[in-house]
Amino acid sequence: GGLFASSWVLYIVSENNDSRFCINLDAGSKIKDHSVPCNETSALVAATENASNFLLAHYESLAANMAGSLEVTFQVDSSCLASWLNPNYCHKQIMLRNASIRIHTICHDLTKDFPISITMSHIEGLRNCADLNSKIGVNADPIQTTNSSLWRHGLPDFCLDEYPPEKDVFLSYHHG
């Protein structure tokens, strides 16, 4: 999210034998009249809703090609948002409280009903692919941005065995 917009991007990493490939699955953004932290929160709500919709619509075909459980990672570059997702955090703003409840509910329900594990982790702002879609003025050429390897395939790190790094993980969901 940025000053004028909230944005999210979904990548899917597939593995075949010993090689992994990452591709942009879906993305979206909305112009919002909120603070940057509220836009960041709105982006995570949209990301969890859209990821959930995709997983529910395509779970059978995904599961047929998986050896184990499906691993889903949501990344945020806002330490404020990371702290707001603490289930014990006492929210002062209704919008942020409702967003936090929505995110927790979606993640809880997905991991309760399917063999899916969900991880929330922090990523540096300069490495956040979703910012390519929300930082108005920074990425002035939308054609160049959408054709870039970063936008189409995400960070090379997405294909690493141990991603995200454990030190960046702040919340996990397993078995509801």
Position of tokens 């922090």?
Answer: 122
Q: Average model confidence (pLDDT) for the chain?
A: 89
DSSP string, 16-54: ETTEEEEEEEEEEEEE--S-HHHHHHHHHHHHHHHHHHH
- pLDDT computed for residue 2 by the predictor: 53
Q: How confident is the model at residue 100 (pLDDT cuts 50, 70, 90)?
A: very high
Q: Which residues contact 135 (CB under 8 A, 6 or more apart)?
A: 2
pTM summary value: 0.90
Strand partners of residue 72 = 118
Mean pLDDT in residue range 79-90: 92
Q: How confident is the model at residue 107 (pLDDT cuts 50, 70, 90)?
A: very high
CA quadruple 127, 132, 136, 138: dihedral sign: positive
H or E element in which residue 75 lies = strand 70-76
> Residue 138: pLDDT above 70?
no
Q: Report strand pairing: 19-31 vs 70-76.
A: unpaired
